[in-house]
Structure 1
Amino acid sequence: MGISGATPGERARPWLLVANVAIGWGLFTAFVLHVVSGRNPVWDTLSSYALAEGGVGLLGASIIAIAVGSVALLAALKAAGHRLSRTTQVLFWAWSTGLVAAALFPASYPERFDPVSGQIHEYSCAIAFLSLAALGWTLPARLRTHPAIMRLTLLTLGGVLLFGVSYLMPGVLPVGLSQRLALAADIGLLITIARAVAVAAPVPAKPRERVSS
């Protein structure tokens, strides 16, 4: 059977594989970065891990892998036959592009001072976080009303608000912890959407043709 005759589930499967592998690789790379950096995950943001030896490469690889997985998930949604609004597609691309820009332009610190790169990094992160916080609300109704997706959509919104408060008032909440909670909600939402897409839609039965006597 050719590609043209494949079911939506079959067409989406390769994209889902790419999405899961890329996001999984991104999480694994982030785990390795935490192990080798020696920094405090409660108080230190992920951006500061670029200051560790080899941190720029590991952090960039992790972020870009998650961005690639997100684009693959968007392709999987389309291949599975979900009708996505322009807003949904723009938010997917804003999230992914924001991640890539944040990886290519590290944050600025006294040890590695680059205010232009730092500003680009901050704005890119803000765009990425806000885009994914809004994404769940714009999905097609069949996905948007999925119980797990609904819960994680609320968590992504809560996560970005929590991170915003800790970033603006660092003495109130540990900024590193709040950032990781927000990212955990974001990744959880992406993985849950992928799992929902992986469940093939039932094929409606064809009506029986009446045989004329």
Structure 2
Amino acid sequence: MGISGATPGDRARPWLLAAHVAIGWGLFTVFILHVVSGRNPVWDTLSSYALSDGGVGLLGAGMIAIAAGSAALLGALRAAGHRLGPATHILFWAWSSGLVAAALFPASYPERFNPVSGQIHEYACTVAFLSLAALGWTLPERLRTHPAIVRLTLLSLGGVLLFGVSYLMPGVLPVGLSQRLALAADIGLLVTIARAVTVVVPANPRTRVSGGKPGALSR
């Protein structure tokens, strides 16, 4: 059955637009939360910003928007013809689901004590951080070996290790700063992958041929 002769790049553009808008909106929301909260970004984790007035809503909205943008990025990769293995799909969804779960279940603090929600929040954040740190290694070879993606993958891995050290030994490193560095590397990796989606040509793009006509597509 023939379908539109749009190129993979054309098919990926709506997904990429959705990814950039969602991630951008998520970052803007988190920025506003920093402006209005009055907390210390060097020592206070993002989770603690939920204690500010309206913090739960702003933080949750930002995390869910970034998760939605990440899911759209996965759609862009598929639409562009990149052949993704099961590990890549699992890690994309683990990252996105972890963000959503962390948004729906805020961290527990003495001012807002809820140990069950706090446990879920911690596990969800751990899954999200570790998933994105591993994501770059599972991409198709032409993406995985792209110099910018290699650098951001290493930075993402280094960021999660740095955050882990500061979280387990808070007196050694400022936990808030290390968390933000880890998140900056993660977002940088997502944006870099988005930029490479239509630039890096898939090794075996998913093309469909109909009636032997060049450019025609079919199932």
TM-score higher than 0.5: yes
Following the alignment from structure 1 to structure 2, what is the Cα–Cα distance between the partners of residues 195 and 3? 26
- Does residue 165 of the first structure (1) align with residue 144 of the second (2)? no
For these two proteins, the number of residue pairs brought into alignment is 202
1:139 aligned residue: 139
Structure 2: segments with no counterpart, 5+ residues: 206-219
So what's the TM-score if we normalise by structure 1? 0.92
2:80 aligned residue: 80
2:25 aligned residue: 25
Q: Which amino acid aligns with 2:86?
A: R
Q: Which runs of 4+ in 1 moved over 6 A?
A: none
% identical aligned pairs: 85
Following the alignment from structure 2 to structure 1, what is the Cα–Cα distance between the partners of residues 200 and 117? 44
- 1:4 deviates by 2.9
1:62 aligned residue: 62
1:156 aligned residue: 156
Q: Which amino acid aligns with 1:154?
A: L
- 1:5 deviates by 1.8
2:9 aligned residue: 9
1:117 aligned residue: 117
What RMSD, in angstroms, separates the aligned Cα atoms of the two structures? 1.4
**Deviation by residue 1:16-47 (Cα, 9 ceiling, x = unmatched):** 00000000000000100000000000000000
Change (3 A) 1:3 1:62: farther
Q: Which amino acid aligns with 1:50?
A: A
Q: Which amino acid aligns with 1:57?
A: G
Following the alignment from structure 1 to structure 2, what is the Cα–Cα distance between the partners of residues 8 and 68? 21
**Deviation by residue 1:55-112 (Cα, 9 ceiling, x = unmatched):** 0000001000000000000000000000000000000000000000000000000000
Following the alignment from structure 2 to structure 1, what is the Cα–Cα distance between the partners of residues 147 and 39? 36
Give the match's secondary structure for 1:5. Answer: coil
Give the match's secondary structure for 2:197. Answer: helix
Give the match's secondary structure for 2:125. Answer: helix
Please say if residues 9 and 200 of structure 1, whose CA atoms lie closer than 8 Å, have aligned partners that are also in contact: no
**Deviation by residue 1:136-185 (Cα, 9 ceiling, x = unmatched):** 00000010000000000000000000000000000000000000000000
Please say if residues 143 and 200 of structure 2, whose CA atoms lie closer than 8 Å, have aligned partners that are also in contact: no
1:129 aligned residue: 129
Please say if residues 71 and 92 of structure 2, whose CA atoms lie closer than 8 Å, have aligned partners that are also in contact: yes
2:209 aligned residue: none
